């Protein structure tokens, strides 16, 4: 059966591949090898398949090399774009910081202007009070003078009536001469009184005009104060609300944070102390209460500023990098930090002021630095190739503490960055994103 099948195959290929014989001659013998049609066809197809495979494999390798070059070029372009974007973000952040500093300086200048206007208002109030007192004295003297004039007129009319009805005897005529002298004296006194009255009336009118001018000036000062207070209140609201949102986003309760800052503040009486313009023990006026409210808001903003400097709201890297792994479950275990990949030796910086509590080799973290900050916060920096700090050293925000490496259990050069609040790891991106939204 097998022989018949072979014969059929050889007969099928015999039209294209006739049977050939290959002779091999030696010194004393001659032998030949019989090449049947099927064998020739198999050899030809095998050679064609080998040549085709070689061509296809060469094409695939050539295309892979061309594709790899394109991928490297695309990766280079992406990296250039990413670095350009980082530069733009850095410039935008510096511009925002400059604007915030300019706004703070304008705020301080406006506060000084408010204090100067309050002093002018107090001076105007004292002057108005003196004018009102002088007007009251003039009006009292004027009323007394008018009463004396009316009384003198009544006495004069009574004396004249007596003289007209009883001037018949010589003794009465003598009395009449005395009465005339008395009347002359009274008339002179009345004229002087009238002159003094007119003078006092003019002084009272001038005092009233001056009081009206002082009241108008006071109204202008109050109107300017109202505008300044409104602008300051709006600026304070715009400044404080983003800070409160930033701390809440980072998982730090604002009130507890401010209490901690107040307890640790070294200045006497706190950063800002409420003021009072009253010297008589009376309740503060509406403007005083409003100014004290503004000062309390400034105090709160200043405390937020101090807290922002002490909490890790900075970035541990300033050079180009890429995120490789975030906070959360990974490979069946909890990944308690964020990984930043970059070049070997990339500088690593402290994200806030603090004290180094550990600097050295730490199990799977390799070369590692732990920094303790205020408010029960710690930051961990792992897998570093080199350390620039030692235990017990105090570091400042933005200070270089090490270089990126691949020590410990690591699959590549990167920084493993963790943030712990009261001993519990939290997502570092909460701090980084919160600071990015504000600063």
Q: Which tops the pLDDT comparison, 374 or 108?
A: 374
Q: Which tops the pLDDT comparison, 10 or 366?
A: 366
Is the overall model pTM greater than 0.75, yes or no? Answer: no
Q: pLDDT at residue 273 above 50?
A: no
Confidence of residue 28 (pLDDT cuts 50, 70, 90): confident
pLDDT tens string 390-435:
999 999 999 999 999 999 998 899 999 999 988 899 899 888 887 6
Radius of gyration of the chain (CA): 52
Return the half-sphere exposure (C-beta side, CA atoms, 13 A cut-off) of residue 343: 7
DSSP 3-state of 356: strand
Those residues with Cβ within 8 angstroms of residue 386's Cβ, 6 or more apart along the chain or in another chain? 345, 367, 402, 403, 405
Q: Where are the beta strands (DSSP E) in 28-97?
A: 30-35
Confidence of residue 283 (pLDDT cuts 50, 70, 90): low
Those residues with Cβ within 8 angstroms of residue 38's Cβ, 6 or more apart along the chain or in another chain? 6, 9, 10, 13
Out of 157-171, 268-282, 338-352, pick the least confident.
268-282
Confidence of residue 337 (pLDDT cuts 50, 70, 90): very high
**Spatial distance between the Cα atoms of 205 and 202, rounded to a whole number of angstroms:** 5
Residue 387: its pLDDT value, please?
96
Confidence of residue 271 (pLDDT cuts 50, 70, 90): very low
Q: Which tops the pLDDT comparison, 302 or 271?
A: 302
Which contacts (CB < 8 Å, 24+ apart) does range 285-288 have? 287/118, 287/121, 287/222, 287/225, 287/229
pLDDT tens string 178-233:
666 666 666 676 677 767 767 777 777 777 777 777 777 777 777 777 777 676 66
């Amino acid at each position: 059966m097998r022989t018949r099948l072979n014969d059929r195959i050889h007969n099928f290929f015999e039209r294209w591949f006739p049977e050939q014989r290959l002779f091999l001659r030696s010194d004393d013998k001659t032998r030949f090898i019989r090449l049947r049609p099927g064998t020739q066809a198999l050899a030809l197809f095998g050679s064609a398949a080998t040549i085709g495979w070689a061509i296809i494999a060469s094409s695939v390798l050539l295309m892979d090399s061309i594709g790899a070059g394109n991928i490297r070029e695309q990766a280079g372009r992406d990296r250039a774009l990413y670095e350009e974007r980082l530069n733009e973000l850095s410039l935008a952040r510096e511009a925002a910081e400059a604007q915030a500093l300019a706004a703070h300086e304008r705020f301080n200048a406006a506060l000084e202007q408010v204090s100067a206007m309050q002093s002018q208002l107090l001076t105007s109030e004292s002057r108005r009070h003196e004018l009102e007192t002088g007007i009251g004295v003039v009006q009292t003297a004027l009323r007394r003078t008018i009463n004396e004039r009316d009384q003198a007129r009544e006495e004069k009319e009574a004396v004249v009536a007596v003289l007209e009805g009883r001037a018949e005897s010589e003794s009465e005529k003598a009395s009449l001469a005395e009465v005339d002298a008395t009347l002359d004296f009274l008339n002179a006194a009345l004229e002087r009184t009238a002159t003094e009255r007119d003078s006092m009336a003019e002084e009272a009118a001038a005092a009233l005009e001056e009081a009206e001018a002082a009241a108008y000036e006071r109204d202008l000062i109050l109107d300017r104060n109202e505008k300044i207070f409104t602008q300051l209140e709006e600026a304070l609201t715009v400044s404080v609300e983003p800070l409160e949102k930033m701390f809440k986003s980072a998982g730090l309760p604002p009130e507890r944070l401010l209490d901690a800052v107040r307890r640790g503040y070294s200045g006497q009486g706190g950063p800002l102390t409420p003021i009072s313009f009253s010297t008589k023990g009376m309740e503060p006026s509406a403007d005083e209460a409003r100014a004290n409210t503004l000062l309390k808001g400034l105090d709160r903003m200043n405390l937020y500023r101090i807290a922002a400097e002490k909490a890790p709201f900075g970035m541990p890297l300033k050079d180009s990098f890429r995120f490789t792994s975030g906070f959360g479950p990974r490979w069946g275990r909890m990944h308690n930090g964020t990984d930043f990949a970059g070049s070997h030796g990339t500088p690593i910086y402290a994200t806030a002021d603090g004290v180094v509590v550990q600097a050295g080799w730490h199990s799977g973290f390799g070369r590692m630095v732990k920094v303790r900050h205020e408010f029960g916060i710690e930051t961990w920096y792992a897998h570093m190739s080199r350390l620039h700090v030692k235990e017990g050293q105090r570091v400042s925000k933005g200070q270089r503490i090490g270089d990126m490496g691949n020590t410990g259990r690591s699959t590549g050069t990167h920084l493993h960055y963790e943030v712990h609040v009261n001993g519990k790891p939290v997502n570092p991106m909460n701090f980084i994103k919160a600071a990015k939204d504000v600063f």
